[in-house]
Amino acid sequence: MRLTRVKRARAAEAVARAILGASALLVVAAAAFLVLYIAKKGLPGLSWEFLTEVPKNRGREGGIYPALVGTLYVVACTGLFAVPLGVLGGVYLSEYAPKKRSTRIIRLAVANMAGVPSIVYGLFGLAAFVLAAGFGRSIIAASLTLTCMTLPVIVTATEEALRQVPADLRHAALALGASKIRTVLSVVLPAAAPGIVTGVVLGLARAAGETAPILFTGAVFQMRRLPDGLGSQFMALPYHIYTQVTSVPNWNRDLVWGTALVLVASVSAASAAAAIWRSARRRRISW
């Protein structure tokens, strides 16, 4: 009887492994197909002039240089706002927040923020930052809107990464006379850095590819100059793709697919660099 149960358990485990492996393979295959399809469609439109020239003839000719620079500006500003706030929020929830109802409400609010549609964040940014705060349609208004959208990802990833750090490391540092804040800064945060970086990259990658939030808060159809400050409007790669497909008759397919390829390649390169650093960092951790 016991032997039969063992065989059933092993058979169930084998089936579960097969299902999980097939699911993972399907996800990887879908992602690879998507990237290869975009690369196939976008490579004919890529050139040095495409990356360094301004758009012409309503984007049917020329390049995407202002959109590329505008995207970098917005993502960089979003990172300046979102990363410190998100990491500090995750540290508070993991290390300092008391275990009571108010903390559970905060966690629930963060989880609910992660599920809010991006178009709602765009409307919120329009009301809060463009109109109420008086920033107008600008880089700072768009960055603050994207910050609100990416904060839940960074906060949650930071909290989960800190929870994975063994409590023994904290106890050992405290036993050696380190203060709570020194323990967090010198022991816990460096050990949780790989997971925190993952959350930051995921959040900023989402910000780089969003159209709805910047649609209301600062992105424009076409500019022949670069942004001259945080109060300037800007072009962005995802919005450029959207306007070309929806608003420009006889849009240039090669250039639009080339823009999509640049956006995907940029996000993929940042994610790959973070993954390489994360793997190297984890190999140095012995616990």
Matching residue, tokens 């990464």: 161
Is the confidence at residue 286, as pLDDT, over 70?
no
Residues 26 and 158 placed together within one structural domain of the fold: no
Residue 37 is predicted with a pLDDT of 93
Helix 237-247 and helix 253-283, axial crossing angle in degrees, nearest 10: 150
CATH code: domain of residue 185: 1.10.3720.10
C-alpha 176: how far from chain center: 38
Q: Tell me the β-bridge partners of 55.
A: 62
Note the pLDDT tens digit of each residue in 101-116.
888 898 889 888 888 9
Note the pLDDT tens digit of each residue in 52-98.
998 888 888 888 999 999 999 999 999 999 999 999 999 999 988 88
Is the confidence at residue 4, as pLDDT, over 80?
no
Note the pLDDT tens digit of each residue in 180-229.
889 888 888 888 888 899 889 989 998 998 999 999 999 998 887 888 88
**Domains held by the chain: number:** 2
Residues 162 and 70 placed together within one structural domain of the fold: yes
Q: How far is CA 237 from each of CA 133, 138, 167, rounded to the nearest angstrom?
A: 26, 16, 44
Backbone angles phi and psi of 110, in degrees to 5: -65, -45
Residues 22 and 73 placed together within one structural domain of the fold: no
Residues 173 and 122 placed together within one structural domain of the fold: yes
Of 272 and 285, which is predicted with more confidence? 272
**Average pLDDT of the residues in 161-182:** 87
Residues 110 and 70 placed together within one structural domain of the fold: yes
Q: Is the dihedral of CA 86, 88, 94, 97 positive or negative?
A: negative
Which among 175, 202, 221 has a CA at the least distance from the CA of 78? 202
Which among 81, 103, 26 has a CA at the least distance from the CA of 207? 81
Residues 127 and 173 placed together within one structural domain of the fold: yes
Domain of 68 in residue numbering reads as 48-284
Residues 27 and 62 placed together within one structural domain of the fold: no
Structure-derived torsion over alpha carbons of residues 262, 268, 273, 279, reported in degrees to the nearest 10: -170
Question: Which strand (E) or helix (H) includes residue 123?
Answer: helix 118-125
Sequence-separated (6 or more) residues with CB below 8 Å from residue 73: 139, 227, 234
**CB burial readout 146-157, b (16+ within 10 A) else e:** bbbbbbbbbbbb
Q: Which of 28-32, 140-144, 252-256, 276-280 has the highest mean pLDDT?
A: 140-144
Residues 54 and 39 placed together within one structural domain of the fold: no
**Average pLDDT of the residues in 241-264:** 91
Is the confidence at residue 147, as pLDDT, over 90?
yes
Matching residue, tokens 């109802």: 101
State the amino acid at position 218 in one-letter form: G
Average pLDDT for the chain: 89
**Average pLDDT of the residues in 124-133:** 94
Is the confidence at residue 9, as pLDDT, over 80?
no
Residue 280 is predicted with a pLDDT of 79
Are 87 and 80 a contacting pair, CB within 8 Å? no
Of 255 and 284, which is predicted with more confidence? 255
Q: What share of the chain is helix, strand, coil (3-state, %, to 5)?
A: 80, 0, 20
Residues 15 and 76 placed together within one structural domain of the fold: no
Residues 98 and 195 placed together within one structural domain of the fold: yes
**Average pLDDT of the residues in 275-280:** 81
**CB burial readout 260-276, b (16+ within 10 A) else e:** bbbbbebbeeeeeebee
Is the confidence at residue 24, as pLDDT, over 80?
yes
Are 252 and 59 a contacting pair, CB within 8 Å? yes
Residues 86 and 186 placed together within one structural domain of the fold: yes
Residue 235 is predicted with a pLDDT of 93
Residues 80 and 157 placed together within one structural domain of the fold: yes
Helix 253-283 and helix 65-91, axial crossing angle in degrees, nearest 10: 30
Which among 256, 225, 194 has a CA at the least distance from the CA of 61? 256
